[in-house]
Chain A
Amino acid sequence: MCTLEKRGNLFILTFTGEDQHRFNPNVIGSLLSLLSQVKAEATRGSALITQAQGKFFSNGFDLDWAQAAGSEQGAAERLHHMVDLFKPVIAALLSLPMPTVAAITGHAAAAGFVLALSHDYLIMRKDRGVLYMSEVDIALTIPDYFNALFREKIGDASVRRDFLLRGLKMKGDEAEKRGVVEAAYGGEAEVKQASVRLAENLGKRKWHGEVYAEIRKGLYPQLSAILGLTHKAYTIARL
């Protein structure tokens, strides 16, 4: 499912196994609990990297589990349930008291893309993997907090439209060119190395974690509001 490793100042969250790393209530619960752990153990200089094994970063919600409800109504309810359960995960990432990097080593679709996009920096593969909002293709509307995330994280209106209204499958070099990701690299190893390098460099700045989180929330006010996150004012003695 997912594991958490500590490497010096870095927290490394990994989706393990060769499957699609889809989110069902168990996985979501696990993610939430690991992110709580990260928050509890955070110090100045901490940073988080989220990565995955295999062909997929994450392919989104577990639609098989939704369908196993046995009826269209049941499936819709289970889907709605996962959308609701997932919101605190995004809230946790938005308020995490450290810089965050998504090492996108494979396909990231729907809620999987949303998870990646909830990190401060996205690093992606050039040679494999796409970013894709599949909802339009499977006749699902977009939850409000997904929309808010796209609105506030992706500045280019055409890019937002291409993802949400066009179901565009965007590869690494286009994602880099169009400002969706920080950088795209030639292979899995390079992506992981680059992510570690970036996370370490950010960690070296020794930012005050809570202040970092507050500034981040201020960058994404609409999203923060929808996620129910409040803003705190801080004054620190050392100026």
Chain B
Amino acid sequence: MCSLEKRGNLFILILNGQNGEHRLNPNLFSSIISALSRAKAESTRGSALVTLSHGKFFCNGFDLDWVNAAGSDEETQQRFNLLLDYLKQLVLAFISLPMPTIAAVNGHAAAGGVVLALCHDYVLMRRHRSVLNMIDLDLGIKIPEPFMALFRAKISGSARRDLLLRGLKIKGEEALKMGIVEAVYDGDEEVTNAGIKMADDLAKRNWHGEVYAEIRKGLYSELCDILGIASTPIATPKL
């Protein structure tokens, strides 16, 4: 499902399930949320987290096979709603993580997988063999509010419309131009190394984790309002 490695100050979350598409189902969700709890519990000043996977996919969205394997239409809807709930919890967990976060997107990301990437403070991507696709429009699935708020918080201008309303398969260079990702790299190994290097550089700033999380919440205040979390003012200045 996923594993959490500690390397010095870095937490490395690796999506490594047998299912190469790293589709989000209750198991993978629980696994990731659990890993984030652990990172939070073990965090110190100067911690950072980088999320990676290997292979063709970063994360291809919800496990629709699992959803559709339900016995009835009603249960299918329930399963889908459950995944939406989990995704919401995931967003919450990332927003409150007391350290900088980076997603090293080595492969394709679709729908929930794009949300997973955007949960991070910084997104790096492969130039080729990696597309971002908000496939919801093509599948006829509405995007619920908390995730709309995430897009509003993180992506500006016409890029937001292009991501959500245009059914585009967005490659690395385009994603860079649209301001969705920070930088693009040529291979799986390069984007992974770049993610780790960036995490290292941010970790060296030695930020106070709790303050970092509160600043993040203030930055994304609309999203936090919708998720029902408040931010706390902290004034223990390192004067």
Residues on A close to B: CB < 8 A? 63-64, 66-67, 72, 75-76, 79-80, 135-144, 147, 150-151, 155-158, 160-161, 164-167
Supposing A139-B234, A141-B214 touch, asked if A161 and B121 sit within 8 A by C-beta, the answer is yes
Once the chains are docked, how many angstroms separate the CA of A75 from the CA of B236?
A: 8
Known: A155-B157, A157-B154, A158-B179. A142 touches B215 (CB 8 A): yes
Minimum CB–CB distance from B215 to chain A (whole Å) comes to: 6
Asked if A157 and B153 make an inter-chain contact with CB atoms under 8 angstroms apart, the answer reads yes
Chain B residues, CB < 8 A from A140: 211, 234-237
CB closest chain-B residue, reference A76: B235
Task: State the total of A-B contacts with C-beta under 8 angstroms.
Answer: 87
Residues from chain A with Cβ under 8 Å of B208 in the complex: 139
Chain B residues whose CB sits within 8 angstroms of the CB of A144 once the complex forms? 218
- Verify A141–B156 contact, CB threshold 8 A: no
Q: Is the CB of B100 within 8 A of A165?
A: yes
Interface residues of chain A: helix, strand, loop or mixed (majority)? helix
Find residues 221-239 in chain B having any chain A CB closer than 8 Å to their own CB. Answer: 221, 231-239
- Is residue B79 contacting chain A, with contact meaning CB distance below 8 A? no
Collect the chain A residues with CB atoms within 8 Å of residue B216's CB: 165
B16 to chain A minimum Cβ distance, whole angstroms, is 28
| A-side contacts of B211, CB under 8 Å | 136, 139-141
**A135→B100 CA distance, assembly (Å):** 15
Q: Give the 3 A-B CB pairs with smallest separation, nearest first.
A: A139-B208, A76-B235, A139-B211
Known: A157-B153, A157-B179. A141 touches B215 (CB 8 A): yes
B137 interface hit (Cβ, 8 Å)? no
Question: Does B86 interact with chain A (Cβ within 8 Å)?
Answer: no
Rounded to whole angstroms, the CA-CA distance of A205 and B238 in the bound complex is: 47
Closest residue of chain A to B219 (Cβ to Cβ) is A164
Flag if A141 contacts B219 (CB, 8 Å): no
Please tell me which one of the listed residues A72, A143, A160 contacts residue B219 in the complex, with CB atoms under 8 A apart.
A160
Whether B155 sits at the interface, judged by CB under 8 Å, is yes
Which residues does B use to contact A, with CB under 8 Å?
A: 100, 121, 153-157, 179, 182, 202, 205, 207-208, 211-212, 214-216, 218-219, 221, 231-239
Hey, which chain A residues are within 8 Å of B231, CB to CB? 141
Question: Do A141 and B218 touch across chains, with their CB atoms under 8 A apart?
Answer: yes
Q: Are A136 and B215 in touch, CB under 8 angstroms?
A: yes
What's the nearest-Cβ distance from chain A to residue B201, in Å? 10
Is B236 in contact with A63, judged by CB distance below 8 angstroms? no
Minimum distance in angstroms from A170 CB to a CB of chain B: 15
Inter-chain contact A138/B219, CB cutoff 8 Å: no
Inter-subunit contact A147/B205 (CB<8 Å): no
List the A side residues contacting B153 at CB < 8 Å: 157
Selected from B100, B157, B237, the residue in CB contact (under 8 A) with A75 is: B237
Known: A75-B237, A139-B234, A166-B202. 20 other contacts (CB 8 A): A64-B239, A66-B237, A75-B239, A76-B237, A135-B215, A136-B211, A137-B207, A139-B208, A139-B238, A140-B211, A140-B234, A141-B215, A141-B231, A142-B219, A147-B218, A158-B179, A158-B182, A161-B219, A164-B215, A167-B205
Q: List 10 A-B contacts (CB under 8 A).
A: A66-B237, A76-B237, A136-B215, A137-B207, A138-B237, A141-B234, A151-B221, A157-B153, A157-B156, A167-B205
| In contact, B235 and A79 (Cβ under 8 angstroms) | yes
**Chain B residues positioned under 8 Å from A67 (CB to CB):** 239
B155 to chain A: which residues have CB within 8 Å?
A: 157
Given A136-B212, A141-B214: A63 touches B237 (CB 8 Å cut-off): yes
Which residues from chain B contact A72 at a C-beta distance below 8 Å?
236
Nearest B residue (CB) for A79: B235
A138 touches B239 (CB 8 A): yes
A139 B179 Cβ-Cβ under 8 A = no
Cα A157 to Cα B219 with chains together (Å): 9
Give Cα distance in the complex from A151 to B106, angstroms. 31
Check if B212 sits within 8 Å of A165, measured CB to CB: yes
